[in-house]
Structure 1
Amino acid sequence: MASGFKRGCLTVVIAFVLLSALAAGGVAWLWQRHAGFPDHPLAGLQLGDSVQVESGDSFARVLGKLRAHGIDEGSDLQWRWLARRLDAAGKLKVGEYALEPGTTPRALLVNMRDGKAIQYRITLVEGWNFRQLRRALAAASPLEQKTTGMDDAALMQALGFPDQHPEGRFLPETYAYSRGDSDLDVLGRAHDAMQSALDEAWSSRSPELPLRTADEALILASIIEKETGVADERAQIGGVFVRRLKLDMRLQTDPTVIYGMGSSYDGNIRRRDLETDTPYNTYTRDGLPPTPIAMPGVDALRAVTNPAPGDALYFVALGDGSGRHAFSATLAEHNAAVASYLRQLRAARRQAP
């Protein structure tokens, strides 16, 4: 009887120990799973996957978007616990966030908390005119298009500059934007950037400039931008134009004529084009054209406000394919340089297939 009782007690003890061990193992397994959740990569993600946090989204709504995307790791409680631990609960920033292979719950919530959204980029190229700028913005994805159907005047009014001509008013740079940004957002930043660059260049201008306003400097900078793509020539060309203005000589620059021709320009400029008067024909009119003709970069602005010294009043392409120019102080020297250019041009045409 006593031995049977002892065997029964032993069985109970063994069962208790086994159950305790199993319970401890289960707790350890649950704890390990909970502790490993924040840094365990989310499964099933593909390159290009993303989730959008929109204005007014609660944490529950964002979590619902993740679930709808196929993310089933972690319980809702685990996600909420992690968000509180990372001080992200209630602080998720609006934006589009990458869900790329290897993304962990911790990294995702930190990105959302810190606003590290996916960034897209658009490059505005030096020398573009406003038509080219608008075409580039219209083709940018996923940029929201708010200016579709607006003419240039309506667009400038939407930006807050109703009396300003748009040409040349936007700084050519690479701009980052996020999903949900609009073309007006990018234009506003580019306009502010150009105004800042122009103000800086004008404030450090040479005291001998024959220019009355910063806007006149912007116009001349746009001409320089179209005249050369060689960086170290910009200040030289700036010097030529500044000296011409001082002497009341006409600028006689082809890019302004081309701009005034508008859509009729077919890639060639003829004598009759140089002789046809338009507000932009600097062969028929004195001084500067009425507006910029393109977007000048920072170097072109500096080339205007601090032009290179010298005595050159003329320049013409070398004709060797380098994009460089020959600079001349006299008309006789210039005519010889033009003749050399024409000889090289004819030779190149004869050799062309």
Structure 2
Amino acid sequence: MGIGGLLAAQEETAEPADHPAIVGGGRGGPRRRRPLRTAAIAMGVVIALVVAGSVLVALVLRSALGMDKVADYPGPGTDPVTVTVQQGDALATVAKELQEQGVVADADTFVRAFGDTGGKVHPGDFTFKKEMKASDAAQVLAGDGSKVMYFALSAGLRINESLDAIAKSAGVDRKELDSLNSQPSQFGLPSQAKTLEGYLAPGEYRFPVGTPAKDVLTSLVSATLDELKQDGITDPAKQYEVLTVASIVQAEGGRADYGKVAGAIENRLKPNDETKGLIQSDATVTYGLGTKTVQLTEEQKADGNNPYNTYVHPGLPPGPIGSPGSKAVAAAAHPTANDYLFWVTVNLDTGETKFAKTYAEHQAYVEQYQQWCTANQGKCK
């Protein structure tokens, strides 16, 4: 059998003559369908679609579950980034900021890396780089960086509270602070000043580690003196007087109009039939008592042994009763002209304050305050 006969025989063997797949002819005769190959192609398409769908679902789930998040950058990093760590910041807080700033890829990875350093979080300004390796960034935070002493003073703090905050947060020796506080003349203050009360400006402060205590206090005092000078008060004796008024405004004003409170105090210091030169401030009395209650007894108001008792002693008290903020200082330097002699905060939550020209009108407002205290037990201690 020749080659042609062999091929013919193979074709006959592969597909018998009685197979019903003959559908027509053309050049070379009738063509035959191959159902197995067609089925295989269809099956392949189905499998491809299933695989593609599975991949798509996997990608969606991976993204939703955060599985596609980069856990770490290869480093070493690109552009510099300065991050300030505040006193008391938790490691998780710092890690979150580093991730948001693009310093590290993942906060959790950084936390683990920092734990491996055995270091502690301390305040300071630290220079990182964009896209750092977590372990490298951890070493930066664990190191000294630009290590600083940090503390914050709120408006209205008394001198002992301010010194406590500086000693505790900045690590400055409290005994040294007390010694400096008892020598206000070292800071160029007038003879009336017996301590630094009223002169330690509220605010947030950062000093390089190791800054002498005197330099720290000098900076705070200078900030207050600069504020007074900006308000046009340059004479040291007048500055002391303004700070005394400002400290009362800060303590008494709450969220009231400080200018109006300062104006009312100014009116009280002038001769008048209603108050006869008495400021009658609860805040000054409690300062002299060393307490912070807002409820005074009649005996306490009548105690002439308290030099800060402005219910008994006319005029200003011996000195400031706390550290006034810049708004209170400005108000004391430039009181708002008015006819008021009395004021009382009738709602300690909102700070609503009522002003009055006569004692009778004032008493009506005091009754409102007492009603509020009755309705809000425990808030008027």
Q: Normalised by the shorter chain, which TM-score bucket?
A: 0.5 to 0.7
Cα deviation, residue 266, structure 1: 6.2
- Checking the alignment, whether the CA contact within 8 Å between 1:202 and 1:214 is kept in structure 2 is no
Distance 1:268 1:252 in 2: 14
Q: 1:126 aligns with which of 150, 155, 171?
A: 155
Q: 2:209 aligns with which of 176, 179, 185?
A: 179
1:338 paired with 2:369, answer no
Q: 1:283 aligns with which of 311, 321, 338?
A: 311
Cα deviation, residue 335, structure 1: 1.1
1:223 paired with 2:253, answer no
Cα deviation, residue 258, structure 1: 0.4
Taking a change above 3 Å as real, the CA distance of residues 224 and 103 of structure 1, as seen in their structure-2 partners, is same
1:18-55 Cα deviation digits (max 9, x unpaired): xxxxxxxxxxxxxxxxxx999799xxxxx89xxxxxxx
Give the equivalent residue in structure 2 for 1:166.
196
Cα deviation, residue 148, structure 1: 3.9
Distance 1:296 1:351 in 2: 24
Identity of aligned residues (%): 27
Give the equivalent residue in structure 1 for 2:110.
none
Distance 1:40 1:297 in 2: 39
Give the equivalent residue in structure 1 for 2:88.
none
- Checking the alignment, whether the CA contact within 8 Å between 1:159 and 1:184 is kept in structure 2 is no
Give the equivalent residue in structure 2 for 1:245.
269
Taking a change above 3 Å as real, the CA distance of residues 157 and 250 of structure 1, as seen in their structure-2 partners, is closer
Distance 2:168 2:197 in 1: 19
- In the alignment, residue 213 of structure 1 is paired with which amino acid? K
Distance 1:100 1:145 in 2: 32
Higher relative contact order (CA 8 A, sep 6+): 1
Taking a change above 3 Å as real, the CA distance of residues 190 and 119 of structure 1, as seen in their structure-2 partners, is same
Give the equivalent residue in structure 2 for 1:311.
339
- Checking the alignment, whether the CA contact within 8 Å between 1:171 and 1:194 is kept in structure 2 is yes
Q: 2:221 aligns with which of 185, 191, 201?
A: 191
1:328 paired with 2:356, answer yes
1:144-187 Cα deviation digits (max 9, x unpaired): 43744844654546656595421101111111212222433221
Distance 2:378 2:128 in 1: 56
1:270 paired with 2:294, answer no
Q: 1:300 aligns with which of 299, 310, 328?
A: 328
Distance 1:346 1:146 in 2: 41
Distance 1:204 1:148 in 2: 29
Q: Which runs of 5+ in 1 are unaligned?
A: 1-35, 42-46, 49-69, 71-95, 109-115, 206-211
Distance 1:177 1:100 in 2: 21
1:86-115 Cα deviation digits (max 9, x unpaired): xxxxxxxxxx884758679xxx9xxxxxxx
- Checking the alignment, whether the CA contact within 8 Å between 2:163 and 2:177 is kept in structure 1 is no
Taking a change above 3 Å as real, the CA distance of residues 149 and 39 of structure 1, as seen in their structure-2 partners, is closer
Distance 1:225 1:327 in 2: 16
Taking a change above 3 Å as real, the CA distance of residues 234 and 155 of structure 1, as seen in their structure-2 partners, is same
- In the alignment, residue 275 of structure 1 is paired with which amino acid? A
Q: How many residues align?
A: 252
Q: 2:239 aligns with which of 214, 223, 229?
A: 214
Cα deviation, residue 199, structure 1: 2.1
Distance 1:184 1:320 in 2: 38
Cα deviation, residue 245, structure 1: 1.0
SS in 1 for 2:284: helix
Structural mapping, 1:80-95, within 5 Å: none
Taking a change above 3 Å as real, the CA distance of residues 330 and 97 of structure 1, as seen in their structure-2 partners, is closer
Give the equivalent residue in structure 1 for 2:22.
none
Distance 1:249 1:161 in 2: 27
Q: Which runs of 5+ in 2 are unaligned?
A: 1-74, 81-90, 95-116, 118-123, 138-144
SS in 1 for 2:377: helix
Taking a change above 3 Å as real, the CA distance of residues 203 and 338 of structure 1, as seen in their structure-2 partners, is same
TM score, norm. by length of structure 2: 0.56
Taking a change above 3 Å as real, the CA distance of residues 310 and 281 of structure 1, as seen in their structure-2 partners, is same
- In the alignment, residue 168 of structure 2 is paired with which amino acid? A
Distance 1:275 1:162 in 2: 31
- Checking the alignment, whether the CA contact within 8 Å between 2:284 and 2:309 is kept in structure 1 is yes
